[in-house]
């Protein structure tokens, strides 16, 4: 098994345990593959597809046709990296924007969710949430800047 495959497996297992919705979304995207034009297919991919199309009595793949090919191990890891970084950046930026808005308008920085009549509505403190999101963004950036070295299983090191 390649390093990329081990990294992918390790990270996806962690995501499935900690963030099942995110893991399912990434898994679905990765299984779907990526679309490329017939012109951009590698020679061996083009030959393989041409053989399959011929066997099915279908016309040959043209330069403007689109084919779906699986992501390589490196591309899968890259997609996960991009998704995690985008998620962390978005979480931090959205909390920071709401905190700034509440401060500018002199609003309460405690956000309550649910019916005010309920006995136990849920709530968050924007300053704490923003700081937590900032810390998580820094952690994600640190991990991704080092590659996945720290996240790899022991046997892959």
Residues 19 and 23: their CA atoms lie apart, in Å, by 6
Most trustworthy range by pLDDT among 37-41, 49-53, 120-124, 131-135:
131-135
80 or 64: which carries more pLDDT confidence?
Answer: 80
Q: What pLDDT shows up at residue 153? A: 43
What radius of gyration do the chain's Cα atoms show? 23
Would you say 15 and 23 are in contact if contact means Cβ atoms under 8 Å apart? yes
**Residues 90, 36: Cα–Cα separation, whole Å:** 28
The strand pair at 110-113 and 34-37 is best described as unpaired
What global pTM score does this model have?
Answer: 0.69
Please give the sequence-ordered ranges of beta strands (E in DSSP) within the chain, or none if there are none: 34-37, 66-69, 110-113, 122-125
Mean pLDDT of the chain: 83
126: buried, middle or exposed (CB in 10 Å: 19+, 13-18, 0-12)? buried
Q: Is the pLDDT of residue 84 over 80?
A: yes
């Amino acid at each position: 098994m390649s390093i990329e495959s081990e990294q992918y497996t390790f990270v996806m297992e962690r995501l499935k345990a900690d963030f099942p919705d995110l893991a399912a979304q990434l898994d679905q995207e990765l299984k779907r593959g990526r679309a490329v034009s017939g012109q951009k297919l590698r020679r061996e991919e083009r030959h393989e597809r041409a053989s399959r199309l011929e066997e099915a009595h279908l016309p040959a793949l043209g330069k403007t046709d689109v084919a779906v090919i699986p992501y390589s191990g490196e591309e899968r890891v890259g997609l996960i990296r991009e998704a995690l970084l985008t998620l962390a950046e978005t979480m931090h930026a959205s909390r920071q924007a709401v905190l700034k808005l509440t401060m500018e308008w002199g609003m309460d920085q405690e956000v309550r969710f649910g019916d005010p009549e309920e006995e136990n509505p849920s709530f968050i403190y924007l300053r704490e949430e923003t700081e937590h999101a900032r810390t998580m963004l820094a952690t994600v950036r640190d991990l991704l800047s080092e590659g996945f070295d720290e996240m790899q299983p022991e046997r892959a090191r």
